[in-house]
Structure 1
Amino acid sequence: MDFDNIECVSTVDEAEVNHHNSHPRHAHHQSPSSKPHNATRNSIDNGDNINNIGSPTAAAPASSVSELLECPVCTNSMYPPIHQCPNGHTLCSTCKIRVHNRCPTCRHELGDIRCLALEKIAESLELPCKYYRLGCSEIYPYYSKLKHEGMCNYRPYNCPYAGSECSVVGDIPFLVAHLRDDHKVDMHTGSTFNHRYVKSNPREVENATWMLTVFNCYGQYFCLHFEAFQLGMAPVYMAFLRFMGDETEARNYSYSLEVGGNGRKLTWEGTPRSIRDSHRKVRDSHDGLIIQRNMALFFSGGDRKELKLRVTGRIWKEEQGPDAGMCIPN
């Protein structure tokens, strides 16, 4: 679904950007505050290949035992049940199904032989988090390591762009540059915003992400989403904010959204969701400003044949309050 016209106004610099056919022109681009690190375009959480992300902060300890616990098929660490063929070659239980119960090394039929000795050895190991290169210095017992890595604060972030199934992962400076350069997302500096959305045929409402804008304030980055989707049988529009960082940091900030017309208005106030939560998860939880189509058309006025919505809002640090003034750009 394409917009016929979108205007994005940042009230800090009073600049206005016109967008056509969902491909915005960028009048302003705010560069990330630090140089982005390299990142891989493949999912990292499924493996240990993190050599291309970030700068090493610790040396990886050499361990021939830990190498023995690496599955030869998926290269991930093996957890019970660890299987072996009659010739002693091992692999994880997931890959045993993938290779149709035949050893990938010698092609011998696997059967149901467990490598109990290797499982016992694993219990005695303590290994560093696989994100040690990204700054995590924690060391965990082998069987606790996997659970930690699923929640590690140093694990890379997924790209927050909602308009495609983007597989890029990386740290925040890298993702900001990626959103700007690869997805052509608008970049704005300041804690207040003023967006005007225009759609010539609002009766055509389908699941679509219409806009994502990145704001830089308080030394952090925030993503503003605005989209249309079906809520049950009713077409709705929704706006919400996501924080480019972890949930604990997101709780330090609040934001407000307002939309209205014809003497009426709707307001929303909440805490931005971390980009650790997927775009779909936030949308499906209805954690944002939801506008029914009939109400949106009423706000638009006129003959109700064109959608004209102006969404305004601001971001503030929780301890300062919403009236503490604008943030100072970096």
Structure 2
Amino acid sequence: MAPGGGVYQDIIESRTAYADYGIAPANGELSSPFRKSATVVGRRLGMASNSSVHELLECPVCITLMYPPIHQCPNGHTLCLNCKAKVQCCPICRQELGNIRCLALERVAESLELPCKYQILGCQEIFSYHNQPRHEQNCRFRPYKCPYAGAECSVTGDIQLLVSHLKDDHKVDMHNGCTFNHRYVKTNPQEVENATWMLTVFNCFGHQFCLHFEAFQLQMAPVYMAFLRFMGDDHDAKKFSYSLEVGGNGRKLTWQGVPRSIRDSHTTVRDSLDGLIIQRSMALFFSGGDRQELKLKLAGRIWEEQA
């Protein structure tokens, strides 16, 4: 039995029937909110609001809401389109599946109004059954993905959780202040293979900012790039600006921009070239010496734009 008592064991046993068919319940970001409380259903049409309607629309295999086309077996057991594609017989009664649509349930779905699945995180919007998924893809209350680059990290959560995660699990350096001066050193700068070098988090104006610095190939040319991401939504990110400066031997390069939200992936920001780009030859010139070692000094500042 798993740690934490018998509840977990009971859940496992109740879903054993589905495991026999090679289909595991989907691991979504959040479970359906309908299992926790009754919600607004068919408000405009005067339909009764109760959880039984929601349960009818939940696929018995993956426990997510079904959207048309909704399929059923000859005995009337329904399942979603994704699960139907994975099995040849009904997971409930083992009858062979045909291509039968459950038109009655599809009509019920069209009459419903549902809350966002991120309701427990603060979203209070109500949507038609068909418009709900589109909203949830861009809901401002949806969890954020871990902004750490250079490794596949599946952790999601609110900003406070991600800050602790970056510090404890990824060992990211945390700094307070809106100005910074970092030094990047590499003994063999000739090796540039999409190498992610550094992520640093700054606590500034009551928010967190991620400073990325890395090396990669840009159209076969090795370059270094530095850019800032804001740990929050794009709307709030646009309230700030930042500048970056790198130089040496009496020369310098500067960049000024607006931090991108961590809603935009690290790769998206990098590939859009939205940051300070330094060609390797210029970086080695800034480093001085025999040009065999990279020694870059990167200075920056973050400020809040006036409304």
TM tier relative to shorter chain: 0.7 to 0.9
Indicate the SS of the match to 2:65: coil
What is the TM-score normalised by the length of structure 2? Answer: 0.84
Of 311-320 and 253-262, the range deviating more from structure 2: 311-320
Q: State the match for 2:241 in structure 1.
A: 254
Residue type at the aligned position of 1:266: L
- Alpha-carbon distance in structure 2 between the residues aligned to 1:282 and 1:45: 28
Q: Residues 291-330 of structure 1: matches in 2 within 5 Å? A: 291-319=278-306
Residue type at the aligned position of 1:229: F
- Alpha-carbon distance in structure 1 between the residues aligned to 2:60 and 2:32: 18
Residue type at the aligned position of 1:79: Y
What residue ranges of structure 2 are gaps of 5+ in the alignment? Answer: 1-25, 40-49
1:70 to 53, 58, 81: 58
Tell whether 2:219 aligns with 1:237. Answer: no
- Alpha-carbon distance in structure 1 between the residues aligned to 2:72 and 2:159: 41
Deviations 1:25-70 (A, max 9, x none): xxxxxxxxxxxxxxxxxxx99454288xxxxxx9553521111111
Identity %: 72
Deviations 1:66-99 (A, max 9, x none): 1111112222211111111111111111111122
Checking the alignment, whether the CA contact within 8 Å between 1:47 and 1:75 is kept in structure 2 is no
Tell whether 2:34 aligns with 1:49. Answer: no
Q: Residues 167-316 of structure 1: matches in 2 within 5 Å? A: 167-316=154-303
**1:312 to 1:134, Cα distance in 2 relative to 1, 3 A:** same
1:140 to 90, 114, 127: 127
- Alpha-carbon distance in structure 2 between the residues aligned to 1:172 and 1:146: 23
Checking the alignment, whether the CA contact within 8 Å between 2:38 and 2:51 is kept in structure 1 is no
Tell whether 2:75 aligns with 1:87. Answer: yes
Indicate the SS of the match to 1:143: coil
What is the deviation of 1:130?
Answer: 0.7
Residue type at the aligned position of 1:238: M
Greater percentage in helix: 2
Q: State the match for 2:3 in structure 1.
A: none
What is the deviation of 1:264?
Answer: 1.1
Indicate the SS of the match to 2:100: coil
Residue type at the aligned position of 1:77: L
Checking the alignment, whether the CA contact within 8 Å between 1:50 and 1:133 is kept in structure 2 is no
Checking the alignment, whether the CA contact within 8 Å between 2:37 and 2:51 is kept in structure 1 is no
Q: State the match for 2:86 in structure 1.
A: 98
What is the deviation of 1:103?
Answer: 1.7
What is the deviation of 1:301?
Answer: 0.9
What is the deviation of 1:163?
Answer: 2.1
- Alpha-carbon distance in structure 2 between the residues aligned to 1:45 and 1:272: 32
Let me know the Cα RMSD of the aligned residues.
Answer: 1.7
What is the deviation of 1:110?
Answer: 1.3
Indicate the SS of the match to 1:98: coil
What residue ranges of structure 1 are gaps of 5+ in the alignment? Answer: 1-43, 52-57, 321-330
**1:281 to 1:45, Cα distance in 2 relative to 1, 3 A:** farther
Indicate the SS of the match to 2:292: coil
Residue type at the aligned position of 1:111: G
Indicate the SS of the match to 2:241: strand
Task: Tell which structure's C-alpha radius of gyration is larger.
Answer: 2
Checking the alignment, whether the CA contact within 8 Å between 1:60 and 1:132 is kept in structure 2 is no
Q: How many aligned residue pairs are there? A: 270
Q: State the match for 1:9 in structure 2.
A: none
Residue type at the aligned position of 1:307: L
Checking the alignment, whether the CA contact within 8 Å between 1:47 and 1:76 is kept in structure 2 is no
What is the TM-score normalised by the length of structure 1? Answer: 0.79
